[in-house]
Amino acid sequence: MDKFSEIEKALPAKEVIGSPGRRAGISAGSKVGGGVGKAIPLDPGGTIDPRDNPAYAGWISGGRGIKAVVNEEQAEHLKETTQRLNSLDSTNSPPDAETATRGYAELHAHSNYSFQEGASEAWDLLLTAKQLGLHALAITDHDNISGVMEFAQAAKELDIKPIIGIELTLARGLDEPADTEYEPGDRPHITLLAENATGYRNISLLTTRVHVDAEERNDPHLDPALLADHAEGVICLSGCRRGEISRLVTAGDTDSAERSTRKYVEAFGKENFFLELQQNLVMGDVQRNRHMAAIAKEVEVGIVATNNAHYHVRDRHRLNDALVAIKHNKSLESSHRERRPNDQFFLKSPDEMSMLFSKHPEAIRNTVRIADRCEFDLISDTIYDFPSYDFLPPGHTESSYLRKICEEAAVRRYGSVTAEVTARLDKEFELLEKHSLVGFLLQYYDIIRIAREVQEDLGLVEPGLPIEENPPGRG
């Protein structure tokens, strides 16, 4: 691909190994030496919106400018992590081969098909993943799988294992009453990965329901009651900070979080559900991960680390900020709460992720185990069968009936079925039968005939006009 050669020039491997901009991560109000910053209002003389208070449930600080609040535990974690990453920088050498190829797989990444959220194209993400030594990468765009074929084809060229997934928006939490209502921007999320072709079919069906069942076009969301019926072949991660379980843990309601975890286990099975830990150096990450790991131990399910990547390199956070501001029809200055809390949502190397999750090494190991389980190949696997045709006239097979229709149309157009027409039909039918498309075309022909009847009823065409003349849908 020409795009790969272009991006390679822009991102030489020596700049990408170990993740560009790794030294970032100290919140604006903290000291590099690990001191605890003080909460400073953005406008000391003005009225503070209560939602800017760190105690407010929907607020997360990342040194973005709303407030710079770091508690002692978070500050210590940032200090320790930064020292390790700086040490890794000083070596200026690629990771160990085993670590680089097997140590970590990113299972939660967004491309530009996460519309007005993802700030990198699939080939951006994949080339950077290749340079970082990631052997597998999942695409989990928001509420759509529009980019998965492009992603899978590009991954195959780069010899990276593509994992097909999605981050779905739920109407409510799985453990919440059916009448629970959320504002569109506050609905909980969940991450699904296709383990096999059955899982991909289920993810595709759920994606369709996300949009078909939504009352508003720009507010796709899924009834969580549908998850259990379409869980076969799907590996479920509990989601980002906006996941049902993450929110409950952040709010301090660990009992409800545990009960919700058991609900997801019941829907997907213990081997197919993992609590998702994220460490983007955001206030509360340390405590939330610790509590979620404890819940996982209690319920006997796995934990898995992800970085919720929305761009391939750190510098793209500016584009991500602009996209999110546009999405919410706000300026950059007024969109702090909607944007990512800092600039740490980019692809990171196995070494870097291992350091960020040094307290939870099992979460890193599980990324590789899950990647190994996901054997679905979008390019070569049989995903679905085309429909057969059930309304054949007596004495006809699908092929003979479609051939009769085609020959009658050939007579109307050419006057007779010539040797040239026969040769062309033979070639076309060889392909149609090889790919089991005959029944599908007959179904399509019926739809066109019904549309022609509507045209006649509306007086748009003369009754009896051949269907190939002024066909439906042509102006």
Tokens of 214: 């939504």
Q: Does an H or E element contain 88, and which? A: helix 72-91
Query: Which residues does 72 contact at the CB level (< 8 Å), separation at least 6?
Result: 36
Question: What pLDDT score does 385 carry?
Answer: 80
Of 60-74, 144-158, 452-466, the range with the lowest mean pLDDT is 60-74
Tokens of 101: 């190829």
Q: Position of tokens 């009448």?
A: 179
Cβ–Cβ under 8 Å, residues 385 and 121: no
Quote the Cα angle for 111-368-116, to 5°. 10
| 312-337 confidence digits (pLDDT tens) | 999 999 999 999 999 999 999 999 88
**Sign of the alpha-carbon torsion through 393, 397, 402, 404:** negative
Question: What pLDDT score does 237 carry?
Answer: 98
User: In whole angstroms, how large is the CA radius of gyration of the chain?
Assistant: 27
Residues 472 and 326: their CA atoms lie apart, in Å, by 39
Question: What pLDDT score does 78 carry?
Answer: 59
Tokens of 162: 């593509």
pTM: 0.73
Residues 271 and 299: their CA atoms lie apart, in Å, by 12
Question: What pLDDT score does 25 carry?
Answer: 37
Cβ–Cβ under 8 Å, residues 42 and 63: no
Terminus-to-terminus CA distance in the chain, angstroms? 37
Average pLDDT of the residues in 202-229 = 95
HSE-up of residue 171 (Cα within 13 Å, Cβ side) = 19
Q: Mean pLDDT in the chain?
A: 84
Residues 174 and 176: their CA atoms lie apart, in Å, by 6
Average pLDDT of the residues in 58-87 = 49
Tokens of 68: 């710079």
Residues 95 and 344: their CA atoms lie apart, in Å, by 20
Give me the percent of the chain exceeding a pLDDT of 90.
71
Residues 288 and 410: their CA atoms lie apart, in Å, by 69
Question: What pLDDT score does 23 carry?
Answer: 36
Residues 192 and 199: their CA atoms lie apart, in Å, by 9
Residues 118 and 309: their CA atoms lie apart, in Å, by 8
Query: Which residues does 87 contact at the CB level (< 8 Å), separation at least 6?
Result: none
Sheet containing strand 234-237, strands side by side? 136-142, 161-169, 189-194, 234-237, 273-278, 302-306
Query: Which residues does 421 contact at the CB level (< 8 Å), separation at least 6?
Result: 410, 414
DSSP string, 436-473: T-HHHHHHHHHHHHHHHHHHHHTTSS-TT--TTSS-TT
E strands in 351-448: none
Residue 411 reports pLDDT greater than 80: yes
Of 57-71, 257-271, 417-431, the range with the lowest mean pLDDT is 57-71
| 130-189 confidence digits (pLDDT tens) | 999 999 999 999 999 999 999 999 999 999 999 999 999 999 999 999 999 999 889 999
Tokens of 10: 């822009």
Residues 268 and 228: their CA atoms lie apart, in Å, by 6
